[in-house]
């Protein structure tokens, strides 16, 4: 028997298990493997198929686990799959992809007991910014004065976008807001970390 068996356990990826299976039975035409669809994840809505690409599954597996652990319905699952599509920063519709991320994340917050009803999406504040008499933030918790901003990939490459974000952060802080800024991509790939950071921030603001 191949000694690789000892290298696998319950935490091993499906791809690793299938690879071992194929190596053990190479050349046999009476034995074959069947890969379950990604939507067969327990707790995931069967009506919303997940991509089968191994790279996608590796990038988003932790977020899928978090979603199923916290509970997920079909509308939220559809928003997540749309959010997790790869969109080039300069592609037409990149702004719409970012808006989809905001919509998904807002719905996720609305379905969790710790955050339900606390945030407003695309909220305006009476703070003058960039020549306007108001400022818009992606998600705002008025009660605890927490502002969440989701940045697209272009924010990493554009010096002016970086400066604008810092000006915005400073103005929000001067007006008593705690600013949490995340990459839109991380809402899909690192949902665990993003949600936990927000929950910690809310708990800290309540104590303060």
Domains of the chain: 1-35 (no CATH), 36-207 (3.40.960.10)
DSSP letter at 92 equals T
pLDDT of residue 173: 97
DSSP letter at 163 equals H
- Block means of pLDDT (10 residues each) for the chain, length 208 residues? 50 60 57 46 89 88 94 93 68 52 94 95 94 93 97 77 93 97 94 97 94
Are the C-beta atoms of residues 33 and 19 closer than 8 Å to each other?
Answer: no
**What's the token pair of residue 205?**
């603001």
pTM above 0.85, yes or no: no
Are the C-beta atoms of residues 63 and 189 closer than 8 Å to each other?
Answer: yes
Residues in Cβ contact with 89 at an 8 Å cutoff, skipping those fewer than 6 apart: 152, 153, 154, 157
Q: What share of the chain is helix, strand, coil (3-state, %, to 5)?
A: 50, 15, 35
Place of tokens 């305006």: 124
What is the radius of gyration, based on Cα positions, of the chain? Answer: 21
CA–CA distance, 74 with 49 (Å, rounded to integer): 10
pLDDT of residue 28: 54
Residues in Cβ contact with 84 at an 8 Å cutoff, skipping those fewer than 6 apart: 51, 56, 60, 63, 188, 189
pLDDT of residue 130: 87
**Angle at the Cα of 169 (from 168 to 170), degrees rounded to 5?**
90
**What's the token pair of residue 175?**
């007006």
């Amino acid at each position: 028997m191949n000694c690789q068996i000892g290298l696998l356990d319950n935490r091993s990826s499906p791809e690793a298990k299938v690879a071992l299976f194929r190596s053990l039975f190479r050349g046999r035409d009476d034995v074959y493997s069947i890969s379950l669809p990604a939507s067969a994840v327990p707790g995931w809505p069967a009506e919303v198929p997940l991509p089968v690409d191994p790279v996608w599954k590796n990038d988003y597996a932790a977020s899928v686990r978090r979603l199923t652990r916290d509970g997920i319905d079909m509308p939220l699952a559809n928003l997540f799959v749309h959010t997790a599509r790869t969109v080039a920063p300069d592609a037409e519709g990149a702004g719409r992809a970012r808006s989809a991320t905001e919509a998904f994340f807002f719905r996720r917050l609305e379905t969790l007991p710790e955050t339900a009803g606390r945030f407003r999406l695309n909220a305006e504040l009476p703070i003058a910014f960039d020549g306007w008499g108001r400022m818009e933030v992606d998600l705002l918790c008025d009660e605890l004065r927490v502002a969440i901003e989701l940045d697209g990939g272009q924010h990493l490459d554009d010096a002016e976008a970086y400066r604008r974000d810092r000006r915005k952060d400073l103005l929000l802080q001067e007006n008593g807001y705690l600013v949490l800024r995340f990459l839109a991509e991380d809402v899909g790939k690192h949902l665990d970390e993003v949600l936990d950071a927000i929950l910690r921030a809310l708990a800290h603001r309540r104590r303060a």
